[in-house]
Structure 1
């Protein structure tokens, strides 16, 4: 859809001036066309390194209908000592009589590292009051995130951004004590969790859940967190007792968890062929001799089933993956929901850490 933008710019400004300019611009746009109304669902505060701000802007443009109502981008330049700002109000170019055109507001504040410890003083006047506020810092800046926790309800994270899984899971645990955490690493496993649940949903197959004896997960070399969270999800839902796994050569993580009837062998294998973050495939085995595998493939997930008698079936689950472009949009959507399965999976995954 074509849009028209109202833009305000200022150098060496302050939050009060930015807020006043936004209010004035919104009033002006509404006077020009009473059909224009501001969207009022979610504030998104994004903290980015200035040199990578273009990449983040591209990702935000691809979230589609899940775009936040007001986006506040804190662009960090280590050398900066003052604040510059650009405020943009985007409106549909045409609104028919009797229709509504939703306005999207974006504020880019260029700040320095000296501002991060007290970033709440800059951001607080700029968020829309009475809306949920979500914070996303794709380039780290934990100090800035911590300064915003008292005024935020959600933190958007990505466990694969941390060099070590232990840091990612411990940080998520720390944040989840104060706010609702949406982890993109967790969302990347959604199609896999959905298919596992669907496989064992029929009443005739459900008893097989108690006989799972092994699980192997193949993942992007940087996405061990996503694999650990998937095992944590199974453990939390099936009542498995978790203890630390062992690290091996080539980044392999393996060991046993303890089900009610038997041990379950767990193996996490990096797959260097995978070009996108997330999972490449998984294989579940049961004590009755059944194996069920899922692997990435063109157009969806390739599924394979085999039983003790050697009978086999193969099929494709079309469109099962949202793709990396859709993960951020799904993360913003999840900020408005509450996934009750994530936190138990996170706690179980943390107990699996080597």
Structure 2
């Protein structure tokens, strides 16, 4: 590891190139560039999660920490690591002071892995409009986490208003075990009948203020073609905020999945004994790793977000954004900010 104090972007590029020349096989097979935007208070857990994800998805890891934007003079401190504490690949941790933090892309762009997709993850409060952050504009995928917001449901509506294909949310990723269990259970009922199951209604019980519970209900609503609401009550055994899901089927049958306190759930379905299934509260690194498995648009997420927020036609929006300059020290922001003509990278697989 090399630490560069009060340095420049050019010096960071040169140091990374110098270490790369001696890195050998450590640097082969980079699949993407992962940009992590984190608050100083969350850097340690962001680094731990990104390191876990990098073990499954070889990447160049660039951590951006914007500090003290009001500082009178811009400054950049950087750590450059090859095969060190942040995983087997290349990593650069950049702490930006003063107005340099408003132009983080000027340091990040020269560090992107050549010909590799770019994913930006905010382990912090993202901007209300991602187009105001150039680190979002040139990314193929953008990962936020509405559960970190002071008002998660308001943040969920903000993400819907600002949505572009390629956006996703770790609150959505937390619902994966529930979605997998529900899908396999309904498939089991269909197999017994030898015909498709029709869902006529249902409910998600848990914490109605949790965005994961709302997105799970939105996913069920979009898939089942009937409204599924989140009802308060019961225990909230994990970060999903979901205690149980009950679905009313045709032929007067019901499927119910109820979480227990041991990291699992009990499945109750017609004509079969209750069965247990693992439903663990997954660590942040596993959530991030799951999102890095796909670089195309996540249509089930957009459908769930539509149903959860009442916003329509999200999948029809353009996957490209134009950078809108935003200066937090300028009181006129939001009243005449003009977009810069910088189109976003298209999601992988788009023509």
* Structure 1 equivalent of residue 144 of structure 2: 157
Q: 1:343 aligns with which of 296, 299, 302?
A: 302
* Structure 2 equivalent of residue 245 of structure 1: none
Structure 1 position 133 matched with structure 2 position 122: no
Distance, in Å, in 2 between the alignment partners of 1:133 and 1:148 is 9
Distance, in Å, in 1 between the alignment partners of 2:126 and 2:172 is 21
Distance of aligned partners of 1:162 and 1:296 in 2 relative to their CA distance in 1, 3 Å threshold: same
Distance, in Å, in 2 between the alignment partners of 1:113 and 1:107 is 19
Q: CA deviation at 1:18?
A: 0.7
Distance, in Å, in 2 between the alignment partners of 1:21 and 1:314 is 59
Report matched runs for 1:280-299 at 5 Å. 280-286=243-249, 288-297=251-260, 298=262
Higher strand share: 1
Partner of 2:123: helix, strand, or coil?
Answer: coil
Distance, in Å, in 1 between the alignment partners of 2:180 and 2:291 is 17
Structure 1 position 330 matched with structure 2 position 316: no
Would you say the 8 A contact 2:140–2:166 is kept in 1?
yes
User: Runs ≥4 in structure 1, deviation > 6 angstroms?
Assistant: none
Distance, in Å, in 2 between the alignment partners of 1:347 and 1:315 is 33
Q: 2:174 aligns with which of 177, 182, 188?
A: 188
Distance of aligned partners of 1:339 and 1:46 in 2 relative to their CA distance in 1, 3 Å threshold: same
Report matched runs for 1:18-29 at 5 Å. 18-29=12-23
User: 1:292-343: per-residue Cα shift (whole Å, max 9, x none)?
Assistant: 221223353211235xxxx7731102x3446234222212224x35433111
Q: CA deviation at 1:351?
A: 1.1
In the alignment, structure 2 segments of 5+ residues that lack a partner are 312-351
Partner of 1:276: helix, strand, or coil?
Answer: coil
* Structure 2 equivalent of residue 313 of structure 1: 273
How many residues are aligned here? 301
* Structure 1 equivalent of residue 198 of structure 2: 209
Would you say the 8 A contact 1:188–1:278 is kept in 2?
no
Distance of aligned partners of 1:331 and 1:322 in 2 relative to their CA distance in 1, 3 Å threshold: farther
Report matched runs for 1:1-354 at 5 Å. 7-30=1-24, 35-63=25-53, 65-78=55-68, 81-90=74-83, 103-112=88-97, 114-142=99-127, 146-177=133-164, 179-201=165-187, 202=190, 204=193, 207-210=196-199, 212-219=200-207, 223=210, 225-240=211-226, 257=227, 266-269=229-232, 271=234, 273-286=236-249, 288-297=251-260, 298=262, 300-305=264-269, 313-317=273-277, 319-321=278-280, 323-325=282-284, 326-334=286-294, 336-351=295-310
User: 1:42-88: per-residue Cα shift (whole Å, max 9, x none)?
Assistant: 11111112233122222333336334511111122216531011100
Partner of 2:10: helix, strand, or coil?
Answer: helix
Would you say the 8 A contact 2:33–2:117 is kept in 1?
yes
Distance of aligned partners of 1:185 and 1:112 in 2 relative to their CA distance in 1, 3 Å threshold: same
Would you say the 8 A contact 1:70–1:105 is kept in 2?
yes
Partner of 2:120: helix, strand, or coil?
Answer: strand
In the alignment, structure 1 segments of 5+ residues that lack a partner are 1-6, 93-101, 241-256, 258-264
TM-score, reference length from structure 1: 0.74
- Bigger radius of gyration, 1 or 2? 1
Distance, in Å, in 2 between the alignment partners of 1:14 and 1:73 is 16
Distance, in Å, in 2 between the alignment partners of 1:108 and 1:268 is 43
Would you say the 8 A contact 2:54–2:88 is kept in 1?
no
